[in-house]
Amino acid sequence: MVTHRIALIPGDGIGQEVLPAATAVLDVVGRRHGVALRYDEFDWSCERYLREGAMMPEDGLDQVRDHDAIFLGAVGAPGVPDHVSLWGLLIPIRREFRQYVNLRPIRVFEGVPSPLREATPDDVDLGVVRENVEGEYSEVGGRFGRGFPEDMAVQESVFTRAGVSRIADYAFELASRRGGGLTSATKSNGIVHTMPFWDEIVAERAAGYPDVRWNSEHIDALCAKLVLSPARFDVIVASNLFGDILSDLAAALAGSIGMAPAGNINPEHHFPSMFEPVHGSAPDITGNGVANPIGAIWTAAMMLEHLGHDAAAHDVLDAIAGVLAKSDLRTPDLGGSASTEEFTAAIVDHLG
Ligand code: NAI
Ligand code: MG
CA 314 centroid distance within chain: 18
Query: How far away, in angstroms, is 36 Cα from ligand 1 center?
Result: 30
Structure letter (DSSP) for residue 274: E
pLDDT digits (tens, 9 = 90+) for 223-243: 999 998 898 999 999 999 999
Where along the chain do the CATH 3.40.718.10 domains lie? 1-100+257-352, 114-254
Percent of the chain with pLDDT over 90: 90
Q: Please identify which of the residues 187, 234, 315, 333 carries the catalytic annotation.
A: 187
In the prediction, which pLDDT does 295 show? 97
Query: How far away, in angstroms, is 118 Cα from ligand 2 center?
Result: 27
In the prediction, which pLDDT does 70 show? 98
Would you call 248 a catalytic residue per the annotation? yes
Ligand closest to 244 (CA) is: 2
Beta strand pairing status for 263-265 and 235-238? unpaired
Q: What is the CA radius of gyration of the chain?
A: 20
Q: Please identify which of the residues 49, 100, 137, 170 carries the catalytic annotation.
A: 137
Q: Is the CB of 76 under 6 A from ligand 1?
A: yes
Residue 119 contacts residue 108 (beta carbons within 8 Å)? yes
Helix (H, G, I), strand (E, B) or coil at 22: helix
Q: Which among 121, 125, 90, 122 is positioned nearest to 106, based on CA atoms? A: 125
Sign, CA torsion 220/226/229/231? positive
Q: Is the CB of 251 under 6 A from ligand 1?
A: no
The pair phi, psi for residue 106, each rounded to 5°, is -135, 130
Q: Is the CB of 14 under 6 A from ligand 1?
A: yes
CATH number listed for the domain at residues 1-100+257-352: 3.40.718.10
Question: Which residue of 12, 17, 94, 281 sits with most ligand 1 atoms within 8 Å of its CB, as the best mutation to test the pocket?
Answer: 281
Residue 321 contacts residue 349 (beta carbons within 8 Å)? no
Question: Which residue of 257, 284, 292, 329 sits with most ligand 1 atoms within 8 Å of its CB, as the best mutation to test the pocket?
Answer: 257
Query: How far away, in angstroms, is 279 Cα from ligand 1 center?
Result: 5
Q: Which among 279, 350, 276 is positioned nearest to 318, based on CA atoms? A: 350
pLDDT digits (tens, 9 = 90+) for 322-339: 999 999 999 999 999 999
Residue 138 contacts residue 156 (beta carbons within 8 Å)? yes
Ligand closest to 90 (CA) is: 1
As a whole number of angstroms, the distance between CA 43 and CA 38 comes to 16
Class of domain 114-254: alpha beta
| Ordered per-residue pLDDT tens for the chain, 352 residues | 899 999 999 999 999 999 999 999 999 999 999 999 999 999 999 999 999 999 999 999 999 999 999 999 999 999 999 989 999 999 999 999 999 999 999 998 999 888 887 788 888 899 999 999 999 999 999 999 999 999 999 999 999 999 999 999 999 999 999 999 999 999 999 999 999 999 999 999 999 999 999 999 999 999 999 998 898 999 999 999 999 999 889 888 888 899 999 999 999 999 999 999 999 999 999 999 999 999 999 999 999 999 999 999 999 999 999 999 999 999 999 999 999 999 999 999 999 8
Q: Which among 269, 175, 161 is positioned nearest to 215, based on CA atoms? A: 175
